[in-house]
Amino acid sequence: MSEIDELKTKLAMACRMLFLAELVDYSGHISVRIPGTDRFLINGHPISRATVTPDDIVTFNAEGKRLEGKWDLPSELPMHTRTYRARTDVQCVAHLHNRMVVVLSMADRQLIPASNPGALFGQGPIPIYQDPALIHTNEQGDAVARTLGDREAAILRGHGSIVVGESIEWTFAGCIDLEESATRLCFASLLGPVRFYTDDEVNRVSKGRRKMSVIQKVWDHYIAKARIAGLTENLN
Ligand SMILES: [Zn+2]
């Protein structure tokens, strides 16, 4: 299998696992840079995220033009193109419509580490992009990229989130941890004042969590869950 075919298969798998984790619904997308190029892969616009195959993956360039693939590109593509433009270190971008992250933003609460999944993102609150409109223009994409800055996640108020990383696996694990962090914080907030982690606690927990062996373990766990759920069919 060629390197690009392998990437398409892994991206299709990531789409299905984000669906399984209820982090994307009928919308939401994940893209990856083809190593050493300014070309990228993403799931096609109309396809259910539960059944994406490598054949449903679309190739696009830095200007957001479709180069190959049978489906239209997602309408919020500028979030991907402008983030890749601003962040040459980023290899993979996911856009989620994740429930609990959105719930926190609706209540104007910041997502600050108060449990171990939150520590993956380091110290301080996850930045929040305040405009709930969908990201359809380069100007909006630039504004999201500015909000993200050098972080690995940003919340889109009332809408969802963007998570970036150095690989599909790393970004996927970030998606899982971002939502889990928000979910735990929402539940804890119902019980009373939340005890947030100190900077030292974030640093020490983060050190144990930001390891490729842990990231791979998250990926492998969701592959197993997807297999049990019957979501690993027709991937080749
Ligand atoms: Zn969206």
In this predicted structure, the answer to whether residue 60 has a pLDDT above a threshold of 70 is yes
pLDDT category at 236 given cuts 50, 70, 90 is: low
Give 195 Cα–ligand 1 centroid separation in angstroms.
31
The pLDDT of residue 199? 95
Which of 80, 23, 26 is CA-nearest to residue 51? 26
Token pair of 31, please? 């893209």
Whether residue 15 contacts residue 82, with contact meaning beta carbons closer than 8 Å, is answered with: no
Q: Average pLDDT of 41-51?
A: 93
Phi, psi of 153 (to 5 degrees): -155, 150
pTM of the model: 0.96
Give 74 Cα–ligand 1 centroid separation in angstroms.
9
pLDDT (tens digit, 9 = 90+) per residue, 184-213? 999 999 999 999 999 999 999 999 989 999
Give 1 Cα–ligand 1 centroid separation in angstroms.
32
Give 52 Cα–ligand 1 centroid separation in angstroms.
18
Give the start-end residues of each E strand in the chain. Answer: 29-33, 39-43, 57-61, 66-68, 92-96, 128-129, 153-156, 160-165
Whether residue 95 contacts residue 23, with contact meaning beta carbons closer than 8 Å, is answered with: no
Which of 36, 38, 20 is CA-nearest to residue 28? 20
Whether residue 163 contacts residue 175, with contact meaning beta carbons closer than 8 Å, is answered with: yes
Give 80 Cα–ligand 1 centroid separation in angstroms.
11
Give 102 Cα–ligand 1 centroid separation in angstroms.
11
The pLDDT of residue 235? 81
Q: Could you state, in order of their start, the residue ranges of all structural domains in the chain? A: 3-228
Give 190 Cα–ligand 1 centroid separation in angstroms.
27
How far apart CA 147 and CA 157 sit, in angstroms, is 12
pLDDT (tens digit, 9 = 90+) per residue, 120-165? 998 899 999 999 999 999 999 999 999 999 999 999 999 999 999 9
Considering the segment(s) 3-228 as one domain, its CATH architecture is: 3-Layer(aba) Sandwich (3.40)
Give 100 Cα–ligand 1 centroid separation in angstroms.
15
Give 2 Cα–ligand 1 centroid separation in angstroms.
31
